[in-house]
């Protein structure tokens, strides 16, 4: 039996989800910069060139996706970046809450590939 500390399985799960979503996006021709916490997401977004969009999970280490969303939308440099929120939350009010805070789309986990691509097609500029 192997014992690990605290939330290692949860961290592994988050990394797996990030890499799976990144792989799906790359397969569709998107350039992807995977980040693993809310602070990294914000820091990458403020660096030039600004991304076309950011996909945030509600439950992220280093702050929540909601905190990152608030920071992105309150900065003049990042307010226009498109944001898609992912969540495993069963809170029926969560989609409206994040849209009120400025999110462009809300998707429930597990992420449905078709729904992800439809959300991207809806919010990202055509190339």
What string of DSSP letters covers 52-103?
SEEEEESS-TTS-HHHHHHHHHHSTTTTTSEEEEEE----TTHHHHHHHTT-
Report pLDDT digits (tens) over 10-67.
Answer: 444 678 888 888 999 999 998 999 998 899 999 999 999 889 999 999 988 888 899 9
pTM of the predicted structure, to 2 decimals: 0.85
- pLDDT tens readout for residues 10-22: 444 678 888 888 9
For the cut 60, the answer to whether the pLDDT of residue 116 exceeds it is: yes
Spatial CA neighbour of 25 closest among 34, 35, 12: 34
* 9-28: b (≥16 Cβ within 10 Å) or e: eeeeebeebbeebbebbeee
Across-strand partners of 117? Answer: none
CA 24 to chain centre: 14
Burial bucket for residue 74 (CB in 10 Å: 0-12, 13-18, 19+): exposed
Query: 80-108, pLDDT tens digit by residue?
Result: 999 999 998 899 999 999 999 999 999 99
Domains and CATH numbers, the chain: 67-113 (3.40.50.2300)
């Amino acid at each position: 039996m192997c014992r690990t500390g605290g939330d290692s399985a949860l961290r592994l799960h988050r990394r797996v989800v990030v890499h799976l979503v990144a792989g799906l996006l790359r397969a569709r021709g998107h350039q992807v910069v995977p980040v693993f916490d809310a602070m990294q997401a914000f820091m990458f977004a403020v660096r030039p060139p600004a991304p076309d969009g950011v996909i945030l999970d509600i439950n992220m280490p280093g702050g929540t996706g909601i905190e990152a969303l608030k920071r992105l939308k309150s900065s003049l440099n990042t307010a226009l970046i498109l944001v898609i929120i992912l969540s495993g939350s069963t809170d029926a009010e969560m989609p409206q809450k994040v849209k009120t805070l400025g999110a462009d789309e809300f998707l429930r986990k597990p992420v449905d590939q078709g729904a992800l691509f439809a959300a991207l097609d809806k919010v990202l500029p055509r190339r």
